[in-house]
Structure 1
Amino acid sequence: MNYDKDDYNKSGKRSIKTSPVQTTKPSRHWDFFNTDHALNKPKPAPKIEFNNIPNKHEIKYGKYEMLKHLGTGSFATVHLAKDLQTGDLVAMKFIDKVNFVGPEASSIYEEIKLMKSLNHKNIVKFVDVIETTTVLCIVMEYCENGELYDLIVNHFQNFAIEDKKKIFKELVEAVKYLHENHISHRDLKVENVLLDKDNNVKLADFNLATRFKQNELFTHRCGSEEYTSPEIVTRKAYDPQKTDIWALGIILYAIVVGHLPFYHKDGERIQSMYHRIAMVNYKFPSGVEIDKDAKNLISAILKYTPQSRATLDQILAHPWLQNIETNGKSENKDMNFINLEENDYRMRHHTNKNFEYYKFKHSKYYSFSTLDNFRDFNGMYTLPKFNLVTF
């Protein structure tokens, strides 16, 4: 499907077919540092509209010229802007500092520090940070073609096999770079995989990323529920590299099949999904032709035992990913779409009304740190009775 950059309706919004996925109001990405945060959702700060940012009477902000409002969340607003010195398009995320204190403030500054240290072609580039007494502005590379989520849900029929391979290979290369630098992302999911104008992967959202030491195991649980690994749902200490690899397997399944392998079915208790994850109980849809090499690679990644999972080098050497040219313009013209709807850049979460078809659902964030309640499934696994916050 092709969209022209100038294809706007009279209201200034892009004229596109209505998405079958209903979007919720943007929510701040949340990591739980203690029980209070896990159980009590903080009061949202006042929304930052364009008129509330510094220099509100000018279209220029420092060396940046504001071009378009992209979206507003509870804690931030994002604008498309142009760097007047380089001519590059950038995304400027303005964060209200009024209620941004304590662990939340520390987390965002750690994220900025980490992003500054990253330099890889498949990771969103940190450009600049501007701070006033009331606003923190993070300037990042602008990814014109939006999220991998949108490509899978809204354009799956036009998602060519070679483009699937290219995107997944670039994502693995980005994660390999992180691990080589002793960094684990800890929230790999299709919403955090962005695409530039040539559909090159740009991994984003390092709010939950952490540095690790060789052979270090973690106990603090965080992330998105559908992508969590068996060792996390069974409340074991985990290797963050292995949980990242598990999440890559979930993403690969979604790229190949068109929906997630594990999801919370309507009307069922959330523990049922965790049980399926703990048992690695997933299936490939019947009646759908799926490349046998792709199936083999998914099966090699989604292993219960972390040490049994394919390594990143083994994934890159797998037959399904051979003879793939990465970081070049997509040959599939139908996939080169422009996604400039007025929505929240990098902060969107989705609730899918047509759930049985797409099997995507809004991700919840959870903490296992201080939970005491457990439920036994078939005498085999002890799973936490999660305290969840849905935004």
Structure 2
Amino acid sequence: MPSASTVQSEAVKSTSGRGQHKHLSDHQNPAAPSKSTEDVVTWLEESMHAQFEKTPVAVTQTSTVYKAQTSMYRGWMAVKIVNKRAIPASVAIKFLPRELNITMKVNHPHLARSYRILYPSPTKIVILSEFYENDRLLEMVLKQEKIKENPAAIRMFRQLIEAVHYLHERRIAHRDIKLENILLDRNGDIKLCDFGFARFVDFRERSTTFCGTRPYISPEISRFSPYDPFAADFYACGIVLYTMVVGQWPDLKTPHQALSFPDAVPSPACRRLIASLLDDDETTRACYEDVVNNEWSSLAPNWVFADNHFVYTVISPTASGPENQKNDDPSRKSSRG
């Protein structure tokens, strides 16, 4: 299957069709890293006394990611080396500074954690991040064909929604939520990553930069209409959930097309939640409160989210009263290291 295409208003002439892919296998053999990237690796090995694995974890047109270890940080880290020359000028000016700013500011158990950003040369940027041992969620779906709803899909989707909620409360719209941007740590917990299209947005502001990845883009983005980027994030979450529990992307080629499911999966409650997230009308589309209070989410009412840095508990999503409300202030979450 062709790889899902990235959509930007500066580069795309047409975005007709909302769901152009039915299968998920989109792997391509990565290209070899450039000589200049290898020179940066050598510099990092010497300056940080780091040990790099020889084969990159991933290579794209604009960046190379390595797995490395250094005494400066506990455990393995992911080293992303960005080639500024390979990035279009409009993206380098508009999107890259936002990505670097947001990457270092966010701090949540289900967002990828970055340690440091380095500038070894005028054309290279190095992002040091926590390394997550397991595959991306895309690979998990490909291997398992679909993810069992209870407890796995409910747990992982709630983690995703909590990460998105954390961003939205801080006026950050992600704008590129997809299976490829959801990593899994050794415990099978999700880490939303890649803030390349993320930006700070006022709550009533309409976005006119049409970005994202098919088939995760919402109908209003497909129409090039000014849109609510927070609502567009929840639409992408709906595509993620559908794909997790069904094992293929929904067939939504035209606006207002009825959402269809296989006969066996998912459950009626899950179908209703997906339909509410994929509502064509962004003003009535499901949001965070709708998800956490949904009957499907309530199948696992008590939640504990944790990683090496945080632990926090969410009591029943339908509970009321201050003693039962989720603690969303990161400064008040108990630290575990």
TM value normalised by structure 2: 0.76
Answer 1 or 2: higher relative contact order, Cα 8 Å, separation at least 6.
1
Verify: 1:93 aligned to 2:80, yes or no: yes
* Aligned 1:1-391 pairs, distance under 5 A: 32=8, 34=10, 37-38=11-12, 47-48=33-34, 52-54=38-40, 56=42, 59-68=45-54, 69-100=56-87, 102-106=89-93, 107-133=95-121, 134-156=123-145, 159=148, 161-262=150-251, 273=253, 275=254, 278-286=255-263, 288-322=264-298, 323-327=301-305
Q: Distance in 1 between matches of 2:267 and 2:36?
A: 48
Q: Distance in 1 between matches of 2:164 and 2:183?
A: 14
Cα displacement (A) at 1:67: 3.0
Aligned to 2:110, the other structure's residue is in SS state: coil
Conserved 8 A contact 2:148-2:245: no
Report Cα offsets for 1:162-208 as digits up to 9, x if no partner.
Answer: 01111000000000011100010111111111111111110011101
Report Cα offsets for 1:224-246 as digits up to 9, x if no partner.
Answer: 12111122223322111111111
Q: Distance in 2 between matches of 1:108 and 1:187?
A: 14
Classify 1:33/1:139 alpha carbon distance in 2 versus 1 (closer, same or farther; 3 Å): farther
Conserved 8 A contact 1:170-1:326: no
Gaps of 5+ in 1: 1-21, 40-44, 264-272, 330-391
Identity of aligned residues (%): 25
Classify 1:122/1:175 alpha carbon distance in 2 versus 1 (closer, same or farther; 3 Å): same
TM value normalised by structure 1: 0.66
Moved more, 104-113 or 170-179: 104-113
Cα displacement (A) at 1:319: 1.9
Conserved 8 A contact 1:49-1:77: no
Classify 1:62/1:30 alpha carbon distance in 2 versus 1 (closer, same or farther; 3 Å): farther
Classify 1:218/1:200 alpha carbon distance in 2 versus 1 (closer, same or farther; 3 Å): same
Cα displacement (A) at 1:328: 5.5
Q: Distance in 2 between matches of 1:222 and 1:57?
A: 35
Moved more, 63-72 or 106-115: 63-72
How many residues are paired up? 285
